[in-house]
Amino acid sequence: MKRITILGSINVDVILEISRLPKPGETMPMKSLSTAGGGKGANQAIAAVRSGAATTFIGKVGDDAYGEKMLTILKENNIDTSSVIIKKGGQTGQAYILLQESGQNSIIINGGTNREITADDVIKAQNSIKNADFLIAQFEVDIERILEAFIIAHKNKVVTILNPAPAKDITDDLLKLTDLIVPNEIEAQMMTGIEITDENTAAEAAKILRERGVKNVIITLGSQGAYYLTENEDGLIPALKVNAIDTTAAGDTFIGALCSQLGNNLANIKEAIKYATKASSITVQTLGAIPSIPTIKQVNG
């Protein structure tokens, strides 16, 4: 069983179903409103554990109703929350998701306590990092905390996986500590300056990322699939054609599911991507983030 530790965000998703995005100055009704567990870190953790990995979470929530709700969800999914801190008076992260009829979404984030993870919090959680096969992080927590955690991971030969989302500037110091980076095409373009439209442009961007210090690259390309580049191989794994209802958490499902199947030396990366692609194709067929993430039985069924 893979041991995965995730340093990441914990949000409650507030989902507003709408026919389309409103124009500037326009007022329009929504079809419905619902809430669900979310946050890129929490989504990835649940995707990993539902695909058979032993998963530990490093994060922070407030002592509010949303924090209580999210801790309950994580524990119910058998995630080790011993490194999740409850901040007195803190506000748990929230995401407001504008979900269109097309299945596409636009998301507005209130980081809350996700942005209040400290260096001391990372140090206190170092055993959770040392005991893992993989450490995963995303950019809904501060980059400084990720860098500190990745340094601990490298000293202890733990494989580091970075999901650079939401897109932002990234230093080479962090890239050099990253064993595998998994951006989508927009995030990869921001880091490399290459407009990614197909396999060839994805390959160009992946080579630039390796030149900046990353050892292995997977660029997810939406309906086109996922391009990967390692020291030994590269290729494009095509996406599966499905009827997408809600794309929320598709990328997070891909990463969590991927890591549950990866070998520590990443030698089986092609097979792991195929598994992750199938998992994410199931996610987009159901409304919501955490409720839509499949189990290993559903993926292999």
The answer on whether 197 is annotated among ligand-binding residues is no
Distance CA(267)–CA(62), nearest Å, equals 40
The answer on whether 288 is annotated among ligand-binding residues is yes
Q: Which residue has the tokens 């993870």?
A: 117
CB-based contacts of 139, cutoff 8 Å, min separation 6: 146, 163, 164, 165, 166, 167, 168
CA distances from 137 to 180, 204, 212, 281, 301 (A): 11, 24, 19, 22, 29
Helices 199-211 and 185-192, interaxial angle, to 10°? 50
The answer on whether 225 is annotated among ligand-binding residues is yes
The answer on whether 283 is annotated among ligand-binding residues is yes
The answer on whether 224 is annotated among ligand-binding residues is yes
Question: What is the set of active-site residues?
Answer: 252
CA distances from 51 to 1, 176, 216, 245 (A): 10, 29, 22, 22
Token pair of 166, please?
């939401």
The answer on whether 160 is annotated among ligand-binding residues is no
Distance CA(286)–CA(291), nearest Å, equals 8
The answer on whether 252 is annotated among ligand-binding residues is yes
Distance CA(300)–CA(215), nearest Å, equals 29
The answer on whether 39 is annotated among ligand-binding residues is yes
The answer on whether 36 is annotated among ligand-binding residues is no
Closest to 161 (Cα-Cα) out of 7, 25, 2: 7
| DSSP 8-class letter at 291 | G
The answer on whether 251 is annotated among ligand-binding residues is yes
CA distances from 121 to 69, 179, 267, 284 (A): 22, 23, 33, 34
The answer on whether 12 is annotated among ligand-binding residues is yes
The answer on whether 246 is annotated among ligand-binding residues is yes
The answer on whether 234 is annotated among ligand-binding residues is no
The answer on whether 133 is annotated among ligand-binding residues is no
Q: Is the separation of the CB atoms in 289 and 140 below 8 Å?
A: no
The answer on whether 140 is annotated among ligand-binding residues is yes
Binding site listing for ATP:
184, 220-225, 251-252
**Which positions make up the binding site for K(+)?**
246, 248, 283, 286, 288, 292
Q: Enumerate the known binding-site residues.
A: 11-13, 39-43, 140, 184, 220-225, 246, 248, 251-252, 283, 286, 288, 292
Binding-site sequence positions for substrate: 11-13, 39-43, 140, 252
